[in-house]
Structure 1
Amino acid sequence: MMDVKMLCCAVLFPLQILLCVLKAAARRLMPHKRRDLGVDVVLITGGGRGIGRHLAKEFAKQGAKKIILWGRTEKCLRETCEEISLTGTECHYFVCDVGNREEVYEQAKVVREKVGDVTILVNNAAVVHGKSLMNSDDDALLKTQHINTLGQFWTTKAFLPRMLELRHGHVVCINSILSLSSIPGAIDYCTSKASAYAFMESLTLGLLDCPGVDCTTILPFHTDTEMFQGMRVRFPQLFPPLNPEMVAHRTVDAVRTNTAFVVLPWTMHFLVILKRSAF
């Protein structure tokens, strides 16, 4: 009996793969129906500056009901919040270090009480240490891992259960192409981003059977923001820094079209292929 079941599985497996390929191809060819953000409460970590600030503006522009900003610098959060509020979108901010587990859970509770249920979580907060492994102290390395990796675990754990109850939610990760193709001199950043990528890949697969709750992972090349000031690229004419407004726009569009993974720019696919063929 077991042999018959195994034989059936072996025969059906290629057909299932073919069906998945055909579904994916059909989905790409058919026009995407964009999600209406009018009922969504969006929480953006690292929302006071850089890509986070542009994400807040873009979500507001595309009709999000409420925007919540988390970050470590109150001045930046307040300024961004005021800018969003002037557009007519309700906006709130809370000082929260996502690298601190207790602070994440406490502020998540405050958000639910004061604003309501978060339906779109954007894990954007990140740090670039900027020193070699040998010149870094352990506390700085741990901080990178806490914010870039563990912070996403904690925020997702804080908000995902309610999304599953509501059958309405989206988890977004602003990652980096360096999670797939590492560079020398940024060991802590690359490893933390690779870990975050694996987390999102696993989460995306795990939520396939959970109706109404989805994931998006954005994998941009280095972006023209304060965090990447001083970064040098070997061929700047071929690989210019990305515009943060464009990254924000593509991110919100990916959420509205329920796109799981986005590589920016698309030419970075070749970089990943070349890297894999080099070893």
Structure 2
Amino acid sequence: MNFFLETLQLIVMSVYYNIEAFVKLFIPLKKKNVTGEIVLITGAGSGIGRLMAEKFAPLGVSLVLWDINQEGIKETARLVKEKGATRVHFYLCDCSDKAEVYRVANQVKREVGDVSILINNAGIVTGRKFMDAPDSLIEKTMEVNTMAHFWTYKAFLPAMTANNHGHLVSIASSAGLIGVNGLADYCASKFAAIGFAESVAMELIATGKNGVKTTIVCPYFINTGMFDGCNSKWPRLMPMLDPEYVAKKIIEAILTDQVYLLLPKTMYFMMGLKNIIPVKVGVLLGMYTGALSCMEDFKGRIKKD
């Protein structure tokens, strides 16, 4: 095509996709059937990971649960069986260890089969100012929150692309979209996780693997204990999120092939503003929303897998 025709195509398709997106705001999206899928959730021993497993339990999937906490993962397995899951497999796995991720992934493929829905959920937070954070904790944050995604994708994506079927889910954070005072290493790890997930999504589109879907989840602070002590200056605008609500919205996003999920909905507005307002106005907005002071009373758990 020449420049004129390609530009015309861009305009026409852009108008079409915008109309399509607007219509979908008012029409409930059809949920896909995941019966028989093999769903792997990292960090499934507690928090959002456990809640997502519980919500997948009655949907006829095979659940593969990973966590570094043996008691936690056993409890999750017990709970999901109570909620109707009949095929549950759990494995101890330190997602910060590449060799262990590959070893356990190979075990899963031998014992369960090829994972078709991969949910990278395991994460940690130090909650310390950059200069106060030990190097070891900074490295661990990057290893769990970012690099683990590389290794799980390497392990499970080949089967998805071979079948042109699957779903990659990255549980990131709103802190991966906007820098937050006191969360330098955490923000860096989540920015990287989002960039990685977006890039792989583009690769899948470019290679025609449109049967492998992707979902990137960016919630505000969730009330799971991970961010205990963090405060929201304006709770009605940016509330601490209820874990049950977040887990429910994530499952809905997966079942409807939603590419991005930002929570609460005000985050969509905030991200739109970030890209168009002057930097100084952005700083004012950060002060107004509490992004500069929300971590002052942090006392959450250092580790959350």
1:214 and 2:213 equivalent?
yes
**Aligned match of 1:241:** 240
Q: Which residue of 1 aligns with 2:290?
A: none
Identify the match of residue 38 of structure 2 among 37, 41, 65.
41
How far 1:237 sits from its partner (Å)? 4.0
Give the counterpart letter for 1:25 in structure 2. I
* Match in the other structure for 1:69: 65
Equivalents in 1 of 2:47, 2:7: separation in Å?
Answer: 45
Match of 1:265 in 2: 264
The aligned residue for residue 187 of structure 1 is 184
Normalization by structure 1: what TM-score? 0.92
1:95 to 2:92 alignment: yes
Distance 1:135 1:171 in 2: 34
Pairwise CA RMSD: 1.6
Count of aligned residue pairs for this structure pair? 272
Name the CA distance, whole Å, in 2 between partners of 1:75 and 1:156: 26
- Classify 1:189/1:22 alpha carbon distance in 2 versus 1 (closer, same or farther; 3 Å): same
After the TM superposition, which of the residue ranges 146-155 and 264-273 deviates more from structure 2?
264-273
Match of 1:18 in 2: 12
The 3 A distance-change label for structure 1 pair 103 and 267 is same
SS at 1:67 equivalent: strand
1:219 and 1:71 mapped to 2: Cα distance? 21
SS at match of 1:158: helix
Contact 1:181 1:271 in 2 (8 A): no
Report the 3-state secondary structure (helix = DSSP H, G, I; strand = E; otherwise coil) of the residue aligned with 1:107: helix
Q: What secondary structure is seen at the aligned counterpart in 2 of 1:218?
A: strand
Q: CA deviation at 1:177?
A: 0.9
- CA distance 1:221–1:15, shift in 2 (3 Å): same
1:111-126 maps to which residues of 2 (within 5 A)? 111-126=108-123
The answer on whether the counterparts of 2:96 and 2:143 sit within 8 Å (CA) in structure 1 is yes
Match of 1:80 in 2: 76
- 1:274–1:19 Cα change, 3 Å: closer
Provide closer, same or farther for how the CA distance between residues 98 and 21 of structure 1 changes in structure 2, counting only shifts above 3 A. farther
Distance 2:22 2:37 in 1: 25
Contact 1:42 1:64 in 2 (8 A): no
Check conservation: 2:57, 2:81, Cα contact below 8 A. Answer: no
Unpaired segments ≥5 residues, structure 1: none
TM-score (norm 2): 0.85
